[in-house]
Amino acid sequence: LASLRALIQRVSEASVTVEDQEVGRIGSGLLVFLGFTSSDEETDSLYLVDKVVNLRIFADDDNRFNRSALDVGAELLLISQFTLYADTRKGRRPDFNQAAGPDKAREAYEQAVELFRKTGLTVATGQFQEYMQVHIQNDGPVTIMLDSADRNRPRRG
């Protein structure tokens, strides 16, 4: 089953370093960890990008979640994270067989980055397939998991 996962954290600032060199930094906005499977399709990326930038998780004047990343001009830091597909049901070591292989994941990540850039928001990134140190100031804290497969699930009502 195709699905793309995003773990988003609202941040007052975030940065990422590779080998002690800063490669990405944002101010107020969203840190977005992206996980891909080998069966992901462009529709998964389109759904998730739209969901992330339009999700109302920024406060309005009454301190209610009524504004989206687009509404507030949030900055985005995008980090590829295969561990979002960890399967921990058996044993003590996570299994990552659901995660896309490096070539497919790189292609899907680059596609997602391009789609996020097309929203007009400022986008910073980590470096694909590198060991990264991610520094965040989680704002709230607000942390939400999104999965593109959710668009096919019935809503409760």
- Annotated active-site residue 83? The verdict is yes
Closest by Cα among 13, 87, 76, 15 to 48 = 76
Beta strand spans in 87-132 (E): 123-125
Helix (H) or strand (E) holding 75: strand 75-80
Q: Single out the catalytic residue among 37, 43, 83, 122.
A: 83
Is residue 8 within 8 A of residue 133, CB to CB? The reply is no
Is residue 18 within 8 A of residue 120, CB to CB? The reply is no
Rounded distance, CA 28 to CA 12, Å? 4
Is residue 99 within 8 A of residue 82, CB to CB? The reply is yes
Rounded distance, CA 15 to CA 24, Å? 5
Q: How many CB atoms lie within 10 A of CB 152?
A: 10
Active site residues: 83
